[in-house]
Amino acid sequence: MGFDKLSCALGGTPVLRRTVDAFLKATSIAEVVVVCPEERWELLEGVKTSKPLRRVEGGKDRQDSVAAGLRAVSEGFTHVAVHDGARPLVSPSDIDRCMEAADTFNAATLARRATETMKRSDEHDFCLEAVSRENLWCMETPQVFAKDLLIRACRRVAAEGLVVTDEVSAVSSLGVPVKFVESLSPNLKITTPADIELAEALLKIRS
């Protein structure tokens, strides 16, 4: 992007703030821990909420940052939701649905079914074969787990030096099944300038 995408304004509100606001509005969420450097924390200046909201520093890799956030969660909570700050369109209702599923199955994640025609390429980007999209899902966040389960997964990742791209992978390494919860509203990740334009258009439709 060439700049901090979490500071990009969507409808006049920074991406990070929209993300945090969704969790503060979700009835199943009791507190929010934002894992970010101090300069990003300034994007949340003026947020009004009755729920605890605090910041912790992240780590070198994703799993290090998740572990830091996990350590900052208050005692007594049984479940933890991990969400990418660059997914600002997540709906509070989808967050609540994920939390409810995790309460039942111990591990759940928001995801969307693959609807496009899928192909596998060679190392030079030439098509090799078609891949059936049946039972294929595109991963989203939040990814929600029983707190003790996620702690065990993080410890295993650290002990074995594993590199994981999401918490579902970490928990799956323990042999624990993860329930997919189909997202009911767009939950795109802001990655390119085109994503900003699409997010702006979706916000206009919502309003």
Please, which residues have CB within 8 angstroms of residue 149's CB and are 6 or more apart in sequence?
A: 106, 107, 171, 174, 176
- Quickly state the pLDDT bin for 116 (edges 50, 70, 90): very high
Report the 3 state secondary structure along the chain.
CCCCHHHCEECCEEHHHHHHHHHHHCCCCCCEEEECCHHHHHHHCCCCCCCCEEEECCCCCHHHHHHHHHHHCCCCCCEEEECCCCCCCCCHHHHHHHHHHHHHHCEEEEEEECCCCEEEECCCCCEEEEECCCCCEEEEEEEEEEHHHHHHHHHHHHHHCCCCCCHHHHHHCCCCCCEEEECCCCCCCCCCHHHHHHHHHHHHHHC
Mean pLDDT of 59-63: 88
Query: What is the average pLDDT score of the chain?
Result: 94
- Quick: pLDDT tens for 122-154: 999 999 999 999 999 999 999 999 999 999 999
Residue 60: pLDDT above 90? Answer: no
- Quick: pLDDT tens for 169-191: 999 999 999 999 999 999 999 99
What pLDDT is recorded for position 23? Answer: 98
What pLDDT is recorded for position 1? Answer: 59
Residue 85 phi/psi, 5-degree rounding, is -60, -20
What pLDDT is recorded for position 2? Answer: 66
Residue 109: pLDDT above 90? Answer: yes
Please, which residues have CB within 8 angstroms of residue 206's CB and are 6 or more apart in sequence?
A: none
Residue 29: pLDDT above 90? Answer: yes
Show the domains of the chain with their CATH numbers. Answer: 5-206 (3.90.550.10)
- Quick: pLDDT tens for 157-171: 989 988 888 999 999
What pLDDT is recorded for position 149? Answer: 97
Q: CA triplet 164, 179, 102: central angle to 5 degrees? A: 95
Residue 207: pLDDT above 90? Answer: no
Global pTM reads 0.93
